[in-house]
Structure 1
Amino acid sequence: MSTETLTGERADQLAVLGKARHLLRLTTRDLTDEQVARRTTVSELCLGGLIKHVATVEERWADFAVRGAVAMPDYSAMTEADFARWGDQFRMLPGETLGAVLERYAEVARRTDELVATLPDLDVRHDLPKAPWHEPGSSWSVRQVLMTIVAETSQHAGHADIIRESLDGAKTTG
């Protein structure tokens, strides 16, 4: 089944996710690589880094929906060096371009949309990976994973809107 022929819950989830993705990408309209790498608040976040982060998170959760906790890092065992590398997803690194970041995000989105269209059952549950923010022994359904991807994307689209407005006064909405 293709995403164009979806109806019901899956179509609704993808429509909401698609809107959030659009708003996130829209925050980078008419900007240079230098501008999307610029921090405009006390946060470490920049527009390009936010899109990198959202792409990484979506990719991991989509993989989790299929393979379970083995698709995720064991956050409880991460070292300082691991967390430093993890932090690279929040900023633009030397040589990275907005075009490449947006292209990767589009590919991740395409794969997620296809997964949503083809997964046989949204009620399948997987144990969550070990992490300080997950209750030990808890599990999520694929449906919860999809809602998390939507929530994460929407939250970071809001962050991106603040960063963009701080950068040059432009607003994504309003």
Structure 2
Amino acid sequence: MTQSPLGERVPSSIAAPLRHDHTEIELIWIEKRLEYWIRFGRISGERILTRKTRILSFRPDAVIAFVRWSANDYGTVHSRIDILRAVRSREPYTTVPFVRPGGELLLSIQGWPRVRSVIEAIDQVESVGLDPCDIAPDHWRHVHNRLSAGEPFRAYTAERHQAWLKRKALGQ
């Protein structure tokens, strides 16, 4: 038996990693206290550890938006969103809590007003009819840099996406 981060006992066979070449993200949900969720990303596997904890697996190069939120009796204590690319084996990566092994960080924003802005940017991409997983990684870097500087960011358009696809086809 092994212990989950919440102190619950789970069988070792359940706690074992899915695959060493995948990126795993641990999601936790404790009503009105702690919520870790995926805003977008193509899930390749899932393990349920407890009623409150599960682990999702992502293939290399998958782009994922991971949101973390916590509160106490007085309201929100912490909110954060990280958009990262799942790395390949032996590729360098940035460590992110609850992400194993880590990923290439495209965006990392803290504070509810700015996290809400990122969620609105994701909604804007979806409103154009695009999957946020498939757009240019540079757009998420742009959003990160502009929000960090307190400046507005450019919207992602179908034209920008077409330019990205052409660059990608040429091998960047």
Indicate the structure with greater helix content.
Answer: 1
Specify which structure has the bigger relative contact order, considering alpha-carbon pairs within 8 angstroms and separated by 6 or more residues. 1
Indicate the structure with greater strand content.
Answer: 2
Q: What is the TM-score when the length of structure 1 is the normalising length?
A: 0.21
